[in-house]
Amino acid sequence: MFCEYFHSLKALTLPASQRQGDTGPSTPVLCAVGKSDATRRRSEAKKLRPKTEALDERRGQLMKRVSIRSVAISCFLLAAPSFAAADNALFSSDDGNVVLFGDIGLANIKAQEFVYRGAKKCTDSGWESKGHKCSQLNWESKGMTLFTVGVDAQIDNDWSLKGSVKVGTGGNGHMTDYDWLSPGHDDWSSRSIHPDTELDHYIAGAIEFDRIIYGNETSSVAVGAGVRYTDVKWTAYGGSRVYSRDGSFRNRSGTWPSGKGIISYRQKIPVGFVSLSGEHVLGDLTISGGIQGGLSFGIKDIDDHWLRDLRFWSDMSPAPTIGANVAVSYAVTPAASLYLSGSFERVFQMRGNTLLDDTAKGTRSPWVQDEAGANFESMSISFGLKGTF
């Protein structure tokens, strides 16, 4: 019995390739028995062999599954940093790389348009040799309500992209029109005042790339470049006037009916600029500001004189521009800040060419060189909210 047990145990533990019989070189001689016993053992071994082979097969399949699962887990663990990096790239705003802001404020805007020597009747003035202007119109809106929305996106550690849109409405509008048409007088010969002047629209948009050139934990300095576009239009209604007739000086006066359109004026101003900006963090308080300098690509304006059915088109030469802004923000939560900001912008006066349409007759004059002039200025203060995402 001992030899049979030992032989059976040997057969179970040996590889299948070596379990071809119940005796072999490794089988002890003392276990050899009679022919009948050997025959019986061979019969039992034949019955047992399918079971042991099935056991080996199941064990091999299990090892394969374990190996495949181990490889899969290893691949997943090795790929985990890559998945994390992809997640950060797709949802970079979770790291505070995108700031949305919106504010409401008040602004004062003003523009001037000029007519120089060469305009009709202006050549009869004795002062024209001084290069004096023939006409000047001052347009302005004070206390205009200004709405601003924008985004500031951090591209990487040093580069950022900013964009904003401003829309203005309402305010206290005013226009004054001066003419120098009386021979022998250097002062204005006629003037009209239009306190009922409405702002038809004011829209300004800007986009700017910035790069940090110095930075530490609390402060940073950046340089940038961008473009800005402004479109503004007023219409003057009614009003009163003083003018000169019959060789006299300021000898007539009159009024226009309230609500009657007299003159409309529109400016379209594209500007390219460079900037220098900085910010400093003091706990929850952040102070920032910047200056800009650039060049307008020429103010393009349209002047409609409704009482005479005349439309003047003017195209100014490029003019220098300056701007500045300052802001103070306070973090009320890690993701939200309240801020107070102020800004200033000026497009300096430059002369340009003009042409005239007679809208009643449907005729157009040729362009006249160096006869027009224009400038623009804005100043605002706003209060708003920034959200970091």
Written as one string, the DSSP assignment of 87-139 is HHHHTGGGGT-EEEEEEEEEEEEEEEEEE-TTSTTGGG-TTGGGT--SEEEEE
299 SS3 class: coil
Task: Name which of 228, 232, 301, 225 is nearest 270 in CA terms.
Answer: 228
Give yes or no: residues 67 and 179 share one domain: no
- The mean pLDDT value of the chain amounts to 81
Give yes or no: residues 227 and 353 share one domain: yes
Largest distance between two CA atoms of the chain: 156
Residue 103's CB is within 10 A of a number of other CB atoms, namely: 23
Q: Give the global pTM.
A: 0.74
Final residue of a structural domain among 33, 62, 88: 88
Question: Quick one: pLDDT band at residue 124, thresholds 50, 70, 90?
Answer: low
Give yes or no: residues 80 and 123 share one domain: no
323 pLDDT more than 80: yes
Sequence letter at residue 184: G
Give yes or no: residues 84 and 98 share one domain: no
Quote the number of domains for the chain: 2
Give yes or no: residues 81 and 111 share one domain: no
Mean pLDDT lowest among 6-15, 129-138, 173-182, 205-214 = 6-15
Mean pLDDT lowest among 57-66, 155-164, 320-329 = 57-66
Give per-residue pLDDT as tens, 17-51: 444 443 343 433 333 334 444 444 444 444 444 44
How much is the pLDDT for 28? 36
Range of the domain at 22: 2-88
Task: Name which of 63, 51, 43, 67 is nearest 12 in CA terms.
Answer: 51
Give per-residue pLDDT as tens, 67-91: 444 433 343 333 333 333 333 232 3
Give yes or no: residues 79 and 98 share one domain: no
Give yes or no: residues 118 and 263 share one domain: yes
Give yes or no: residues 39 and 168 share one domain: no
Mean pLDDT lowest among 106-120, 246-260, 320-334 = 106-120
Give yes or no: residues 63 and 107 share one domain: no
Give yes or no: residues 346 and 369 share one domain: yes
Q: Are 180 and 247 in contact (CB under 8 A)?
A: no
Give yes or no: residues 23 and 111 share one domain: no
How much is the pLDDT for 67? 43
Give yes or no: residues 171 and 43 share one domain: no
Final residue of a structural domain among 27, 55, 88: 88
Higher pLDDT, 176 or 246: 176
Final residue of a structural domain among 34, 66, 88: 88
CA–CA dist 203, 100 (Å, integer)? 19
Residue 209's CB is within 10 A of a number of other CB atoms, namely: 15
Q: What are phi and psi of 127, to 5 degrees?
A: -90, 5
Give per-residue pLDDT as tens, 243-268: 999 889 999 999 999 999 999 999 99
CATH (domain of 180): 2.40.128.90
Q: Which residue's entry shows tokens 């091999």?
A: 60
CA–CA dist 313, 372 (Å, integer)? 9
CA–CA dist 170, 176 (Å, integer)? 18
